[in-house]
Amino acid sequence: MNKIYPVTIGVLFAAVAVLFYLQFKQPGNLAVPKKNHANPKDSGAAATSRLAYIDLDSIKEKYTYFKLRQKELEREKQGIENTIESEVKKLENDRVNFLKRGQSITQQEAEKFQIEYQTRYQALSEKREQLLNQHLSNQSKALDEIQKKINDYLEEYNKTAGYQFIFSTGEGNLTVYYKDTTLNITAEVIEGLNERYKQEQ
């Protein structure tokens, strides 16, 4: 997630930039087929577009539900670390107590303890990884849930606000949360790109 996230955001930003360029460029210069749209909103749409944005950093700081879920996730992660730390201490105490026997430890006992110690340590490492993976999954689900709440609210909010695009900003992030589907030029862009590709072959 962490490695893919910046790449995904970069690709999304580039895609949005291309769509804006194609939307606002003079029609005579476009290498995209012209379409006759039935919806009257398409006439002069670029000149009347209403844009808005939301700041995600402010939402993180001031949205109560977001802060609540963030604290829950922090407690969950701390609980995982506390559990593993406690079991590591127990494992190390068992090792120290075994070594205290000193010369009375036989070769067979030493080999058996070493195998048991390594087995327990490996199992503990796997348990930690499993718990952290579950935590990351819970974190991802929480973020999806928060984004859905934002999406649902903005959809309702925009019934009276009348924006055609609502973006988000924050930490270099740019995301389209709401879009007027009558301004969707994706099909025309794809057709133009395919036509240009044919010409280049």
Are 76 and 134 in contact by the 8 Å Cβ rule? The answer is no
Report the distance separating Cα 37 and Cα 164, nearest Å.
17
Q: Is 51 helix (H, G, I), strand (E, B) or coil?
A: strand
Q: Give residue 179's pLDDT band: very low, low, confident or very high (50, 70, 90).
A: low
Greatest extent of the chain over all pairs of C-alpha atoms, in Å: 93
Q: What is the mean pLDDT of residues 161-171?
A: 80
Query: Between residues 48 and 103, which one has the greater pLDDT?
Result: 103
Residue labelled with tokens 């929480």: 142
∠ CA 181-184-185, rounded to 5°: 165
Give pLDDT, residue 190.
79
Is pLDDT at 84 greater than 90 in this prediction? Answer: yes
Edge-to-edge order in the sheet of strand 165-169: 51-55, 165-169, 175-179
Q: Give the pLDDT confidence score for residue 150 in this predicted structure.
A: 87
Range 117-121, long-range pairs (CB < 8 A, 24+ positions)? 117/91, 120/91, 121/91
Pairwise CA distance, residues 139 & 132, whole Å: 10
Q: What is the pLDDT of residue 129?
A: 95
| The pLDDT of residue 119 | 95
Distance from C-alpha of 114 to C-alpha of 108, rounded to nearest angstrom: 10
pLDDT at 174: 61
- pLDDT of 113 higher than 50: yes
Residue 131 · residue 77 · CB < 8 Å: no
pLDDT tier, 15 (very low <50, low <70, confident <90, very high otherwise): very low
pTM value is: 0.61
Q: Which tens digit of pLDDT belongs to each residue from 43-67?
A: 444 446 778 888 888 888 888 888 8
Looking at per-residue pLDDT, the higher value among 104 and 163 belongs to 104
Coil vs helix vs strand at 35? coil
pLDDT band at 96 (very low <50, low <70, confident <90, very high): very high
Domain boundaries, the chain: 1-50+162-201, 68-150
What value does the mean pLDDT of the chain take? 77
- As a whole number of angstroms, the distance between CA 130 and CA 127 comes to 5
Least confident among 94-98, 160-164, 167-171, 182-186: 182-186
